[in-house]
A and B are shown apart, each in its own frame.
Chain A
Amino acid sequence: MDLLQTIGGYLFTDIRMAAPVLLAGLGLLLMNWSGLLNIGAEGIMLIAALSAVAGSHYFGSVWLGLLLAMLAGAIFGLLFAVLTVTLRANQTVVGAALNILGLSLSTTLNRVLFGIETTVTKVDAFKVLEIPLLSKIPVIGRAFFAQMPIVYIAFLLVPVIHYFLFKTKPGLNLRSVGENPRVADTLGINVYRTQYLATIVGSTIVAAGGAFLSTGLLDFFAEDMVAGRGYIALAAVIFGKYKPAGIMVAAMIFMAGNVVSNVLQVAGIGIPYTFLTMIPYILTIIALTIFASRAVAPASLGKPYKRG
């Protein structure tokens, strides 16, 4: 029983840590299926993490913080769409620029809003929302049903986005734009509008992941706190073969690696910390070689489309 409880605890941690990467991955997925390769998730998450704290601080509610973060994400998404869809700039370069912009803008705004202090401004943060009865299930109850609301949202989005992409007409339209925009265009689908919408909605979801880092797991903003999760999400999308459930599995495997390194360090068996830091990445590579056959990306991913 004790062992089972411990495993339940690991699962709880795994799910909680996977949520932000999952959200970022799902947001990127929407963009990818519309044919846009956005590597700027890290930057979007950073500005969202700051906006969430700022919103929560000034409006006094963590939900309004989340809203502000999503708005900031939408603005970044719009910027990306203007540059890559309308002006047809190189998507990788613009994505890299978004990362730099997100890092520096969040750093600067953090200093302007909260000053240069050795303490941090603490704000209202998400609380655990226990689901009655279900959270009492032994072992997995707490892991699945005693999380923060945004974790439920993240995992509920998996079937929702899957249904949208693969079972609805707008989803089919979105995918056809990503596969072959010219054909989609001739069939009367507004390619540009589809890509704009996908980018803005996608960035909003990515931003929710960033907001969870600062107001879910913690209750403050620290510079560069996203610490590479935006890139992990990029990898998770490919690892997950451009399917929502695949991204979920990828995010959970990666974070399971972090749980393993936590356990190993506490156990104190003398493994150098540098090796522990590698575990999530090694685990992901192993999983990738064992389980993943070739991931098939949308055919027109990363290619700018010029009408007419």
Chain B
Amino acid sequence: MKKCLAVLLAVLMVFGAVAIAGCAKEDKPDVSKPEETKAGEVDGGDKKDLSKMKVVALLSGVITDNGWNQICYESVKNLSDKYGIKLEYNENIAVSDMAEYIRTYAEEKYDMIIVHGSQFKASAEEMARAYPDSHFCLSYGFRVDASTADQVQDIPNLAYVGPVNMGVLIGAIMGILTENNKVVFLGGQDIPAITDIVSGIEEGVRLTNKEAEVKTDYLGTLTDADLAKERALAFINDGFDVISASANTAQLGCLHAAEEKGVYALGFNGDQYGVAPDAIVLSVMRNYPAIYEDVFLSIAEGKWKSGMVVYTLKDKGTVVSDWHGWDKKLPKEKVDAINDVIQKLYNGDLGDY
């Protein structure tokens, strides 16, 4: 009996040691982040002062979800690398627990509390009213039709922050890439951070392709990459030849399917070229690192803005990855057309995106 207990203890200790080693190392790995464009970057700020700012990110999922939460982690990591603030984040927070998490940090007088996801809206609003000394940033998804504006409340220390019109950009590129005139975008679930993109796809495709059949639907999972792959294969077998998806780790399955079947894909939320180099032409990313740097500096400089803080394509709220050699592989007219439409969208030549 004692022997067994000893064995058990040893096993538990080994697992414990591994877990601790994991935690200690967690913050170290290099993170690829969309660096090229930083909206509103300010150089030569008083770095000593800024490093004392207290920032925390409160996340609904894990920082390795290849999506929504990871991009937020990268944003605070970026602040930490650049301004020397302490890197702080909490993962896997349930909606019911969020208010208590916020309270903990607000009591400590944190300067910037990032509440990452519109599902936490009620908690963020309640806590923002209770703690007027902290700045609250609620990461939000904005639909292209501006219907989101009604949901925003006017609280002086709460900002609803996010890019808008990402879907339009993705759709515009998909419309150029397709040869069969059939494109598909698959969301993971019907939640604001995904529907905001889905809402713009068709409009985007129409900018570059009047005839293409545009399909948008949901996978019903954010983690099941195998299921997502089979779903994507079903679409590809039906003739769809450009695919993109927003479903955290599940979207990797869609990209994998595109590579297997030799059709085009667009990466999303990070430069995903490496996942399927033979399929992923470009990746489109939420530029939260730049957005939150902008917000961070606005707090530091006393220029804080509450309410809807929206970063349009013109504001570089969305960035596009490097070509990774695809500009040589694709027909020249497609490359030119894509470069052209991205430029036009950024300049505002195609309308107010």
Contacts and interface: CB of A to CB of B under 8 A. Distances in A.
B256 A262 contact: no
B235 interface: yes
B269 A262 contact: no
B231 interface: yes
Give the contact-size bracket for chain B: 35 or more
Interface string A103-118: 0110111111001111
Nearest to B77: A116
A19 to B, nearest CB: 11
Nearest to A220: B252
A6 B8 CA distance: 53
Tell me the interface secondary structure of chain B in the complex.
helix
Contacts of B30: 115
Contacts of A9: 237
Interface in A244-267: 258-259, 262-263, 265-266
A157 interface: no
Contacts of A20: 226
Contacts of A116: 26, 29, 31, 63-64, 70, 73
Given A111-B29, A116-B63, A118-B70, A224 B18 contact: no
A168 interface: no
A119 B29 CA distance: 13
Given A223-B64, A265-B217, A119 B8 contact: no
Interface string B62-78: 11111000110100000
B29 A118 contact: no
B22 A79 contact: no
A131 interface: no
Contact of B65 (A109, A223, A273, A277): A223
B223 A112 contact: no
Nearest to A87: B4
A186 interface: no
Contacts of B271: 118-119
A220 B230 CA distance: 16
A101 interface: yes
B224 A225 contact: yes
B272 A119 contact: yes
Nearest to A264: B234
Tell me the interface secondary structure of chain A in the complex.
helix
Given A105-B15, A227-B223, A222 B249 contact: yes
A266 B235 contact: yes
Interface in B281-333: none
B217 to A, nearest CB: 6
Interface stretch (A29-37, A173-181, A211-219, A283-291): A211-219
Contact of A122 (B31, B226, B275): B275
A158 B22 CA distance: 39
A118 B224 CA distance: 17
A113 to B, nearest CB: 10
Given A122-B274, A266-B235, A112 B252 contact: no
- Most A-side CB within 10 Å, residue of B31, B73, B220, B238: B220
A265 B234 CA distance: 9
Contacts of B190: 273-274
A268 B214 CA distance: 11
Contacts of B65: 223
B130 interface: no
B42 interface: no
A95 B172 CA distance: 49
Interface of A: 9, 13, 17, 20, 79, 82-83, 86-87, 101, 104-105, 107-112, 115-120, 122, 213, 217-220, 222-225, 227-228, 258-259, 262-263, 265-266, 268, 273-274, 276-277
Given A223-B249, A266-B234, 7 more contacts: A101-B15, A115-B30, A116-B31, A117-B270, A217-B226, A225-B226, A262-B234
Interface of B: 4-5, 7-8, 11, 15, 18-19, 21-23, 25-26, 29-32, 62-66, 70-71, 73, 190, 215, 217-221, 223-227, 229-231, 233-235, 237-238, 249-250, 252-253, 256, 269-275
**Chain A to chain B: the 3 pairs with minimum beta-carbon distance, closest first:** A118-B270, A115-B29, A108-B22
9 contacts: A17-B226, A83-B8, A87-B8, A105-B15, A115-B29, A117-B29, A122-B274, A218-B225, A273-B218
